[in-house]
Structures are given as structure tokens and as C-alpha cells.
Amino acid sequence: MPKEEWGVKRVCPTTGKRFYDLNRTPIISPYTGEVVELSTGKPRSMSPDAEDAGTKKLKAAARGDDADLIDDDDEAELDIDDDLLDDDEDDDVSLDDITDVASDEDL
């Protein structure tokens, strides 16, 4: 637990190392000897990251808003070429063809 006379813990803007200001004004970095300016413009706060699509869908489902979700009943039938689905009679492959590995000489 830091002692009260040590002051507030600060960060040197040049080196990034932490130090106590020893309640002195102006605050001087012990590492560089420079005066450390305090930024009083914008307070530091954490803001959430942007939601990804999965998180949005989960929240919509929890609310009961199914507008973004696809319903299985509403899917249109796909027109698939019958030639792609035909079974070839040449499905048999010999084990020699499967285990044939190229040697270094073949490359």
C-alpha cells in the first residue's frame, strides 16, 4: 500500500515507466527530468467495441425480433444441375493408386 506522502502514481510520457509524483508541483519525471504535463481535456473511460454480426443476431433472438434470422420454411428450393448429382460408375479406385506417393525424383 503506497504511503500518502508518495503522492499519486504517474506515467512518464517519454519512457512509459511509472513513478510517484511526491505531491510536487510541477510534476517532474525522475527518468528524464522533464516536466510532465497532465492532460485534462478528455476523461479516460472505457467504451464498448462495435458489436459483431453474431452478437446482434443473439440479441435480436433474445428480444424475439426474428427479422434478421432465416426461417427454414422460407428457403427457396435450389436448382442444382442433375449432372453433378449423377453417380459415376468409376467410383472404384485401386489401393495402389491411393497409396502411390511421389518420390523426390518425380518432383
Inside any domain, residue 52: no
Inside any domain, residue 46: no
Inside any domain, residue 61: no
How far apart are alpha carbons 24 and 106 in whole angstroms?
Answer: 77
Q: Which domain holds residue 34?
A: 1-38
Inside any domain, residue 94: no
Count of structural domains, the chain: 1
What is the chain's pLDDT, residue by residue, as a tens digit (107 residues)? Answer: 778 899 999 999 899 999 999 999 899 999 999 998 887 666 666 666 666 777 777 877 777 655 545 555 555 566 666 666 565 566 677 777 777 677 777 66
Inside any domain, residue 57: no
How far apart are alpha carbons 53 and 49 in whole angstroms?
Answer: 13
How far apart are alpha carbons 62 and 53 in whole angstroms?
Answer: 14
Inside any domain, residue 23: yes
Q: Residue 58 in 3-state DSSP? A: helix
Inside any domain, residue 103: no
Inside any domain, residue 24: yes
In the chain, how long is the greatest CA-to-CA distance?
89
C-alpha cell at 23: 505531491
Rounded to two decimals, the pTM is 0.37
